[in-house]
Chains A and B, each alone.
Chain A
Amino acid sequence: MSSSPPTLSVTLRVWRQPGASQPGRFVDYPARNLNPSMSFLEMLDVVNDELTAKGEEPIAFAHDCREGICGTCSLMIDGKPHGPHRGVATCQTYLRSFQDGDVIVVEPFRARAFPVIKDLVTDRSAFDQIQQAGGFVTVRTGSAPEANNLPVPKDDSDLAMDAAACIGCGACVAACKNASAMLFVAAKVSHLGLLPQGQAERDRRVLAMVQTMDAAGFGGCTNQYECGAACPKLISVDFIARLNRDYRRASFRAAFRPQPLEAGGSG
């Protein structure tokens, strides 16, 4: 199958934008005689080499691992983040998913919180800020107890792993009509919230991360589940329900739980 159709040619309609402050526009680029088992990014490599040979500036696009794990690649292909297939990243999109003669629209992930840096490259550092606000378990190096001292029910740890599989690509935001980061945050909060290790900071974590998420300028969730469908790791929107629950409980606990006279120790 991999070696069936000979070659295909497509037209790429690509968003070009020289810099954050400059205006952008769509430009068409022909890509000819492509091998169907070529990856979408490899096609862009080829197009870029042709542009370079012509003395034009190549298309800037983000990529690194090219095996769907680093979360760097981030293209809106024909109106779907990461291209036509479910559960894959842009770098795992292969030309066999396209027809000869297709016109393929390629745009950056768009959101107010993801400003364009250049062409198809956007700034997703808002995700890092959310992590810095609370996406961790406070445990100094060396202070950890023997690993098998706390058993974790397999189902919990498997579920936590489902959430932890998030690669931080931002496709959920790109797909969401409200540019909401709920799926990402839900994945992060649930990963740690599902594990005993994460309990001590559970409330602080969810409150801090949600506050930072809002401050970063992401939208709210209207439960449309576009994110889950666009997610390369098919992170379940169930985690969003979990986040809502966690947030609700944490808010009320924070308001009604008696406060110690002195908050000793350090954050």
Chain B
Amino acid sequence: MATLDSKIPAGPLAEKWRRHKTEIKLVNPANKRKYEVIVVGAGLAGSSAAATLAELGYKVKNFVFHDSPRRAHSIAAQGGINAAKNYQNDGDSVYRLFYDTIKGGDYRSREANVHRLAEVSVNIIDQCVAQGVPFAREYGGLLANRSFGGAQVSRTFYARGQTGQQLLLGAYSALSRQVGLGTVQLHTHSEMLDLVVVGGQAKGIIVRDLVTGAISRHAADAVVLATGGYGNVFNLSTYARQSNATAIWRAYKRGACFANPCYTQIHPTCIPVTGDYQSKLTLMSESLRNDGRIWVPKRAEDRRKDPNTIPESDRDYYLERIYPSFGNLCPRDVASRAAKRVCDEGRGVGESGLGVYLDFGDAIRRLGEGGVRERYGNLFDIYHEITAENAYRTPMRIYPAVHYTMGGLWVDYNLMSNLPGLFVLGEANFSDHGANRLGASALMQGLADGYFVIPYTIGDYLASLKPGSRPSTDAPEFKQAEDNVRSLTLRLLGAKGREPVSHFHKRLGQLVWQHCGMARNRADLEKGLREIPALREEFWSGVRVPGSGDTLNQSLERAGRVADFLELAELMLRDALARDESCGCHFREEHQYPDGECKRDDANYAHVAAWEYQGEGKAPLRNVEALTYEFVKMSVRNYK
């Protein structure tokens, strides 16, 4: 039974972080270089952490499976990053950003963490601008903002439709500088396949070189995982194809608790599925909802008509109708479920009937086509590339798709998991977004964790270790972990089946989407829980992984990742079943208000569920960390 001590500092909310920083232990500068830190991942969280820790003087080893740190999935973020700068003078503040995030998360996140996030958000913008991130500006030369879902203030900073790219290039440049200085040892094409735990503490990792197949051991005083989200469990998602859960899943199997695995965000504005060959779904940035109006025909029989021929009177702008005050800008989970509902009513548009219109007719009338192009040009281009349709003429068709995983490894206020020495940052942890993430908050969190939290909190842990006390890679734990990796690799290569990995990934994806997608219920979840183990059986007997283990072998890479997804999926459904309430993205049909809104059960579920691995074939343990709200009062989320 793991102990989940959130280590939340005492004191008034706004004081906690400042006070904590003054109270935690420091490592003296001369000693820093005696500590080695492994950072896995170089997305926003990983590269910002690796760069900053190296600046502080720690010896850093950075591992990524990509061929370059710059390719991390963070690069794909489009819309923007939030910060409580209040440059718009529209009443924004640290408290409001904190409050919006807590509320957006449907009261399932930690007050202290979220407030810290809101506090450092302002430093992030300063840091990025100093690095040369070309944020959008006004003619006066000052920074511009746009508004984003779930907020009534305009606090989102953006760089065209490429905010994530620009922020990542900023962090990547800081990382590159350290690599150039020799303070960070960069290992590209290197996939972490196991965590090494020595004496109950995370002390190293096992890595496979994806080019040579060489498997190597790496010891350190602390291990930082910043390996991103696990949305590719669903196969079809807005994630990059290679994003995976392997690092956190293997850490989970080494004893790190996995928190709220069922919290997966479904993004309302994605390009609908066209065929079964499809490999990914493309997001149309949420910022489109600023000027686009979402509608479906009032009558189901109109759904195949040319939208331009459908008169206003026959259109149902359902978000504006149901949520007058937030309208098209209501939070993602709300918007997604609304779309699902109207499609279930048979009013969905497009061939599949799984789509709604995102209409820029009004915006074009208001701003002119040029004005719209100025704001969203590249998104319209993306849409055209994929659908060969011109969204300036006919409305876009959109449908929700898997986009983000709020769940992840459990961490305390210091971002350390229940395994001492294991720190988890960015999307890989569960920390700040509760049951639903607001737009433009993930970039903020990733950079907050990497630039401004871990550099302080890791010191507190390292200071408690004797310099040079890290174990050698000859320790039996390293050997055992390496053998474990080797045998898994051999097992995959030796599988005697004939189906490609993708076959199982697709089936798993459909299964999870049906049973644990936008809406969930007991019967479905139980059904899914029976089907997954069967599918897993089939995988191991039916999969074929061609090629060898000692060269670049993409089938092998994917096979290992899908094998992990097949296990993780089961935990997601378990969690969804055990959480017998609706909250944020977790919508249990049994628990809804007449208007189809989430019905939370704060009495019984105002807690984090942190699952603990119990061994092969054994049911995992469900630990809970109670969420206490000292400063905001839990209320029913209402975007009407």
Contacts and interface: CB of A to CB of B under 8 A. Distances in A.
Q: A contacts B directly in the complex (CB < 8 Å)?
A: yes
Interface of A: 1-3, 18-19, 35, 37-39, 41-42, 45-46, 48-49, 51-53, 55-58, 60, 62-72, 88, 92, 94, 96, 117-118, 121, 123-125, 127-128, 131-148, 150-154, 157-158, 160-161, 164-165, 167-168, 191-192, 195, 197-198, 267
Interface in B534-592: 544, 546-547, 551-552, 554-555
Given A88-B385, A128-B68, A66 B279 contact: yes
Given A140-B55, A144-B123, 11 more contacts: A18-B551, A19-B551, A35-B274, A49-B503, A60-B552, A64-B71, A65-B76, A66-B282, A69-B165, A145-B126, A157-B135
Nearest to B87: A148
Nearest to B450: A141
A52 B502 CA distance: 10
Nearest to A122: B67
Contacts of B26: none
A236 to B, nearest CB: 15
Contacts of B166: 161, 164
B127 A141 contact: yes
24 contacts: A38-B275, A49-B500, A58-B547, A65-B76, A66-B282, A67-B283, A70-B75, A72-B66, A92-B385, A125-B188, A127-B68, A131-B173, A133-B180, A140-B55, A146-B126, A147-B85, A151-B142, A152-B137, A158-B134, A164-B134, A164-B159, A165-B162, A191-B132, A267-B181
B132 A52 contact: no
Nearest to A212: B180
Interface stretch (B148-156, B193-201, B386-394): B386-394
B242 A137 contact: no
A132 B236 CA distance: 35
Contact of B554 (A53, A58, A142, A167): A58
Interface string B6-25: 00000000000000000000
A154 B137 contact: yes
Contact of A136 (B67, B131, B386, B544): B131
A151 B552 contact: no
Contacts of B503: 49
A72 B241 CA distance: 11
Given A42-B277, A144-B129, A136 B87 contact: no
A60 to B, nearest CB: 6
Contact of A1 (B76, B137, B277, B389): B389
Given A52-B544, A65-B73, A88-B385, A137 B132 contact: yes
A72 B67 contact: yes
A58 B85 CA distance: 51
Contact of B159 (A41, A131, A161): A161
A18 B211 CA distance: 11
A63 B241 contact: yes
Interface of B: 48, 51-52, 55, 66-71, 73, 75-76, 85, 87, 123, 125-132, 134-143, 159-160, 162, 165-166, 169, 172-174, 176-177, 179-181, 186, 188, 211, 240-242, 274-275, 277-280, 282-283, 351, 382, 385-389, 451-452, 455, 498-500, 502-503, 544, 546-547, 551-552, 554-555
B566 to A, nearest CB: 18
A88 to B, nearest CB: 6
Contacts of A58: 546-547, 554-555
Q: What's the dominant secondary structure at chain A's contact region?
A: loop
A55 B498 CA distance: 8
A141 B140 contact: no
B143 A52 contact: no
Contacts of B211: 117
A147 B552 contact: no
A151 B55 CA distance: 27
A71 B71 contact: yes
A46 B502 CA distance: 10
Given A45-B502, A117-B552, A168-B68, A151 B277 contact: no
A170 B71 CA distance: 13
Contacts of A2: 274, 387-389
A118 B552 contact: yes
A198 B132 contact: yes
A136 B173 contact: yes
A194 to B, nearest CB: 8
B173 A167 contact: no
Contact of A147 (B48, B129, B499): B129
A62 B67 contact: yes
Contacts of B546: 51-52, 55-58
A197 B166 CA distance: 15
A168 B176 contact: no
Contacts of A42: 277-279
A160 to B, nearest CB: 5
A164 B180 contact: no
Given A57-B547, A160-B132, A136 B137 contact: no
B241 to A, nearest CB: 6
B67 A167 contact: no
A142 B127 contact: yes
A6 B48 CA distance: 48
Given A139-B127, A147-B85, A67 B280 contact: yes
Contact of A138 (B162, B177, B274): B177
Contacts of A133: 180
Nearest to A85: B385
Given A49-B500, A49-B503, A137 B277 contact: no
Nearest to B141: A151
Nearest to B239: A65
Given A144-B126, A191-B132, A135 B143 contact: no
A42 B282 CA distance: 14
Contacts of B70: 71, 128, 131, 168
B176 A136 contact: yes
A165 B378 CA distance: 12
B277 A35 contact: yes
Contacts of B173: 131, 135-137
B498 A53 contact: yes
A156 to B, nearest CB: 8
B67 A53 contact: no
Nearest to B157: A147
A69 B181 CA distance: 28
Contacts of A267: 181
A170 B231 CA distance: 29
A216 B622 CA distance: 53
B67 A160 contact: no
B551 A41 contact: no
Nearest first, the 8 A-B pairs at minimum CB distance are A151-B141, A144-B130, A132-B180, A136-B173, A52-B500, A161-B134, A147-B129, A144-B126
A176 to B, nearest CB: 20
Nearest to A48: B500
